[in-house]
Amino acid sequence: MTTGRTYVVGITDHMIGKPDLEAAVLGDDVEIDFFASTDEASFAPDRLARLDALMVWGARLGAASIAHLTRCKGVVRYGVGYEKIDLAALGRAGIPFANNPDYGTEEVADHALAMILSLHRRLFEHDARARGYTSGWQVHSLKPLSRSNRATVGVVGVGRIGTAVVNRLKPFGFHILGYDPGQPPGHEKAVGYERTDRLEELFARSDVVTLHCPANGETRGLLGAEGLAQLKPGAIVVNTARGELIDDLDALEHALRSGHLAAAAIDTLVTEPPQDHSLLTAWRDREDWLAGRLVITPHNAFYSDHAAVEMRTNAAKTVRILLDEGRLRNQITETP
């Protein structure tokens, strides 16, 4: 099929349906080929071979598809994380890759703060239990419940989102620890947190641990059985980063059942939608022992109406710049 247009840009899948916003940003000389699927196996080789650029939302992109991207000048992911993209195969094919790093920074930081504050205030536990109170209404205070300026929050990964979290925590008076080997000396002074050089120290000293680092070989299972055991008894864990950081649901269930972990809030899981697991069954069934102590949101910490527009506009702009200037902004250059 010929459309008379100069470029063909593929979009694998999209959370919002029709790629109209992308079309407006990309312009009239771009034909959009919308695959409308997260199933990589459904991407026909002849359609891949026509693409000048490819935009990816939730689909996996592996070597088999990449082999057919023979015209492609760049692949752009709508989101921040790129563990589903085979960077090595793209590298071998000579195709640069970019993510979309900053569209939802405020939203994820707000989401993490909402989780931290509500679990620290034991909001959901109070709500779950108050339904059953018929007398002595106000005497049912849950203990322990510390004042925010007596509590310590440990931030793992003080990049864009981690820094936005630190900035939001400060006015509440929390003592803030940060662990991030990638940030230069003095970053803690500029941003305003106490740096720990060892993760174990942050785990041992924090009342709340909030995760904001990427999922990679080093961080996978960061809060598995061993990490969870290093936490302060009664600690709270918040994960708006990646499910792989807390990849062992057995260990998480054990920590919650034993009470070693007071509560957890999770926006991202290794498998989404989540598969069956006894912890998730207890959560779904609102089992009494877990009431208000496990909060799960469906990987939408990034979302606001504004962030969604920004995400789609920014990703499409990245492609437009690539087509016009041959340069890929936000290019990921790390070698896998």
Residues labelled catalytic: 242, 272, 299
- Binding positions for ligand NAI, 259-298, rule CB under 6 A: 267-268
> From the CB of 283, what's the least distance to ligand NAI, in Å?
18
Query: Are residues 236 and 207 in contact, defined by beta-carbon separation less than 8 angstroms?
Result: yes
CA distances from residue 189 to 178, 193, 205, 241, 244 in whole angstroms, order as listed: 11, 7, 20, 24, 30
Tell which one of 118, 148, 206, 219 touches ligand NAI (CB under 6 A). Answer: 219
Could you tell me the end-to-end alpha-carbon distance of the chain, in angstroms, rounded to an integer?
37
Under the binding rule (CB under 6 A), the answer on residue 161 touching ligand NAI is yes
- Locate the DSSP E strands across the chain: 7-11, 30-34, 53-56, 75-77, 97-98, 152-156, 175-179, 194-195, 208-211, 235-239, 261-266, 294-296
**Interface stretch with ligand NAI, choices 9-17, 141-149, 212-220, 285-293 (CB under 6 A):** 212-220
Tell which one of 28, 197, 218, 334 touches ligand NAI (CB under 6 A). Answer: 218
Rounded-to-integer distance, Cα 49 and Cα 86, Å: 18
Nearer to ligand NAI, 62 or 81 (CB): 81
Count of H helices and E strands in the chain? Answer: 13, 12
> From the CB of 229, what's the least distance to ligand NAI, in Å?
18
- Binding positions for ligand NAI, 60-89, rule CB under 6 A: 80-81
Tell which one of 78, 174, 179, 193 touches ligand NAI (CB under 6 A). Answer: 179
H/E element holding 124?
Answer: helix 123-130
Tell which one of 302, 310, 322, 323 touches ligand NAI (CB under 6 A). Answer: 302
Query: How many residues touch ligand NAI (CB under 6 A)?
Result: 31
Burial of 44 (0-12, 13-18, 19+ CB in 10 A): exposed
| Torsional sign, CA 78, 84, 88, 94 | negative
Smallest CA-to-CA distance from 293 within 166, 89, 129 is with 129
> From the CB of 150, what's the least distance to ligand NAI, in Å?
25
Q: Are strands 194-195 and 261-266 parallel, antiparallel or unpaired?
A: unpaired
**Interface stretch with ligand NAI, choices 8-16, 36-44, 51-59, 174-182 (CB under 6 A):** 174-182
Work out the angle at residue 16's Cα, subtended by the Cα atoms of residues 28 and 37, and round it to the nearest 5 degrees.
90
Closest residue to ligand NAI using C-beta atoms: 159
Per-residue DSSP letter, 298 = -
Nearer to ligand NAI, 74 or 214 (CB): 214
- Binding positions for ligand NAI, 112-141, rule CB under 6 A: none
Question: Which residue in the block uniquely carries the two structure tokens 């920014």?
Answer: 314
String of contacts with ligand NAI for each residue 222-261, x by CB under 6 A: ------------------xxx-------------------
Rounded-to-integer distance, Cα 318 and Cα 50, Å: 19
Tell which one of 10, 74, 104, 227 touches ligand NAI (CB under 6 A). Answer: 104
Nearer to ligand NAI, 47 or 160 (CB): 160
Nearer to ligand NAI, 158 or 166 (CB): 158
Q: Residue numbers of the site for ligand NAI (CB under 6 A)?
A: 80-81, 101, 104, 108, 156-162, 179-183, 212-215, 218-219, 240-242, 267-268, 299, 301-302
